[in-house]
Amino acid sequence: MEVNKICQFCGSRFVAQRTTTMCCSDNCAKKLYKKRKRDEKVQQVNKSVEIQEKGFDIEQIQRKEYLSIKEVMLLLDISRTSIYRMLKDGRLTKLEGFKAVRIRKADLDVLFVGKEENNETKHYILPYFNDDNYYTINDVLEEFNVSSGAFYHLCKKHNIPKIPKGKNVFVPKDLVNSIFNNE
């Protein structure tokens, strides 16, 4: 088999025998390998600098099963007060048997999913968190020309999960769209 490929090191065109071949020559392959190793090292150093600057490693927190208050704050980008409010009103539960407050990471994933309505538990999975999937409350007020009071009642009526993050509160676009299409 012959495949046209571009050398990943020098960028020249070459014909390879296998689809997995990445370089035009052994020489380029060696240099590419060295470059990759070097890049990996640089990345590692950059990452450890970032961790030192921030004082935490978000990836490490994401891998944990149980989280401290501080870790939940960092992960959800919400205040300590918000977390205690959620613990108080039952949206979050602290685990028994720990000296300090520990929260199950899995609980965070379902935290904002709608609760029971008409004796029927809704199984709505929150969409992945990004701008394409969520409106801020202000977006909704502008986009649908509704007052904040009216939207508040709509959220209650339709069980729209509200997600506080940083300074904003977010709502899932698909749910909000479907409400305004039906009302």
Q: Which residues bind Zn ion (CB under 5 A)?
A: 7, 9-10, 24, 28
10 versus 141: smaller Cβ distance to Zn ion: 10
Cα 99 to the center of its chain, rounded Å: 29
24 versus 160: smaller Cβ distance to Zn ion: 24
As measured in angstroms, the least distance from the Cβ of 41 to Zn ion is 22
Q: How far, in Å, CA of 2 to CA of 98, rounded?
A: 62
28 versus 171: smaller Cβ distance to Zn ion: 28
Q: How far, in Å, CA of 77 to CA of 47, rounded?
A: 20
Phi, psi of 128 (to 5 degrees): -55, 140
As measured in angstroms, the least distance from the Cβ of 7 to Zn ion is 3
Are residues 126 and 112 in contact, defined by beta-carbon separation less than 8 angstroms? yes
24 versus 76: smaller Cβ distance to Zn ion: 24
As measured in angstroms, the least distance from the Cβ of 32 to Zn ion is 8
As measured in angstroms, the least distance from the Cβ of 20 to Zn ion is 15
Question: Three-state DSSP class for 70?
Answer: helix
Q: What is the DSSP string of 97-139?
A: T-SS--EEHHHHHTTTS---BTTB---PPPPPSSTTTEEEHHH
H or E element at residue 44: helix 26-54
As measured in angstroms, the least distance from the Cβ of 42 to Zn ion is 22
5 versus 102: smaller Cβ distance to Zn ion: 5
